[in-house]
Amino acid sequence: MQNSLMSTYNSPLKSKGMIAWVLSFLLFAFYLLIYFTNIPDSWANFVGLESKWNLYGVLYTISIVAGGLFFINTHGNSRYQKFRTFTLIFFQIIFAFSIPEIMGLFESKGFNFAKFWPLGIDLFNPKYIFEYPLLIIVYTFIGSLIVAPILTLLYGKRWYCSWVCGCGGLAETAGDPFRQLSSKSVKAWKFEQISIHTVLLLAILSTSLVIINWGLHFENSAGEWVTNYATFDLIASKIQGTYQFLVVAMLSGVLGVGLYPLMGSRVWCRFFCPMAALLGLIQKFGRFRITVKDEMCISCGNCSTYCEMGIDVRAYAQTNQDFKRASCVGCGMCAHVCPRGVLRLENKWDFRDTSDKEKRKVFDF
């Protein structure tokens, strides 16, 4: 038994009680203010920070560090949990927070080295990325297109989603008390498959248009950056703007965090994140899988309950099926909370295909 989990369903905060609704409302309000008003700038100035984004960065980092330490205190008896929580805290403090700040001190534009395309949709926007030194440009392209896919083939998308990523970082630390709220229904799974791949397509579309549009621009004799395709320019920037508003602000920020207390901490990662979608597709061809010990599952439901991605792990465990799921971020909690040690996260090329077509009919896979 995990001591920290014992009271999950006795706690109104963790089981959609009144207080959870209030917290959700406050998070929504906070994110709407941050994204769409300048009011938080005055709060930032009040505590001696330059802008609302600095304030947001500080609060975000504090949440990950505090939540992470709390998490380690309760689940640190597992070395894997300890390891990945430390890496999350490390990447947040050093990569997401300190390095950009330090770069700012040297009068250069801050850059988050822990972010890759398509999570950072602007990273493939020539107008944005070409303002950086060549080394950063190369880092971004090689990181996004070569290193990230290879690491995913070798270790699963967990190397990013639950060891490095800032969104995942907040979910795994401050958001951990809400992991059990993710829906395990087949309906939610079907919705997830449609929504997340739609966002991925939008990300690819938006990026392609932006790149093509950039290619259609040139510097005229007066030194202005112009294009002969004004309509295309308009459409491209409209789509880019829509993506920024809808996906980046609304889905990853407002909904993603605002719904923590009601729908779990991975709403963004599970339903909308284009990076998670892309790495998830690659993960299906990779080494990483969850292995099930035959006939040892007691169907208790701890694995499914504490899966933040809403995977019905028990459905696989009780039918002796090793499995790879695109959405699995490899947080390892299913294995950690299993009272019979049935599950294990493994990186092995040979995959024991235990899926049984007959059983599939029953369990609606």
Partner 1 sequence: MHYVIIGNGVAGINAANSLRNYDDEAKITIISYETEHHFSRTALMYVLCGQLSEQCVEPFERDHYEKMGFKRINDKVSKLDPDANKLTLESGKTVQFDKLLIACGSLPAMYGWPGSELDGVGNFVTWQDLQWLKEKAKTAKKAVVVGGGLIGIETVEVLLLAGIEVTFLVREDFYWPVALNETEGTIIAEHIRHHKVNLRLKTEFAEILGKDGKVIGVKTGDGETINCELVVICVGVRPQTDWLKDSGVALDERGGIIADDNLQTNYDNIFTAGDCAAVMWFNNVRRPEQLWYTGRDQGRIVASNLIGMKKIYKRGTFYNSAKFFDIEYTTAGLVNFKLDGEKNFFSHEEGTYYTVRITYLADNTVVGFNMLGRRWDHRVLVNWVDEKRQLEWVLKHLHEALYDEEFMPTFTLNQKVS
The residues of the shown chain that bind partner 1, judged by CB under 8 A, are 1-2, 5-11, 15, 77-80, 82-83, 185-186, 293-302, 304-305, 314-315, 318, 332, 335-336, 339-341, 344-345, 358-359, 361-362, 364
Smallest separation (angstroms) from partner 1 to the CB of 9: 4
Cβ 314 to partner 1, closest distance in Å? Answer: 6
Between CA 88 and CA 83 the distance in angstroms is 9
Nearest approach in angstroms of CB 350 to partner 1 is 15
Which residue's CB is nearer to partner 1, number 278 or number 290?
A: 290
CA distance to 57, 232, 278, 341, per residue, from 91 (Å): 13, 39, 21, 30
Q: At closest approach, how far in Å is the CB of 363 from partner 1?
A: 8
Which CB sits closer to partner 1, 49 or 188? Answer: 188
**CB–CB of 41/51 below 8 Å?**
yes
- Residue 118, preceding bond cis, omega within 30 degrees? yes
Smallest gap, in angstroms, from Cβ of residue 113 to partner 1? 25
User: For partner 1, which is the closer residue by CB, 7 or 355?
Assistant: 7
Contact 310, 270 (CB under 8 A): yes
**Least distance (Å) between residue 319 CB and partner 1:** 10
Q: Which residues contact 217 (CB under 8 A, 6 or more apart)?
A: 225, 226, 227, 233
7 vs 38, beta carbon nearer partner 1 = 7
CB-nearer residue toward partner 1: 70 or 86: 86
Q: Please, what is the minimum distance in Å from the beta carbon of residue 361 to partner 1?
A: 6
Kindly report the number of other CB atoms within 10 A of residue 332's CB atom: 21
Instruction: Compare residues 278 and 345 and give the one whose CB is closer to partner 1.
Output: 345
Q: In degrees to the nearest 10, what's the CA dihedral of 135, 140, 142, 146?
A: 160
Place of tokens 């609304």: 250
CB of 47 to partner 1, least distance (A): 38
Q: Considering the complex, state which of residue 131 and residue 294 has its C-beta at the smaller distance from partner 1.
A: 294
- Closest to partner 1 by CB, 64 vs 331, is 331
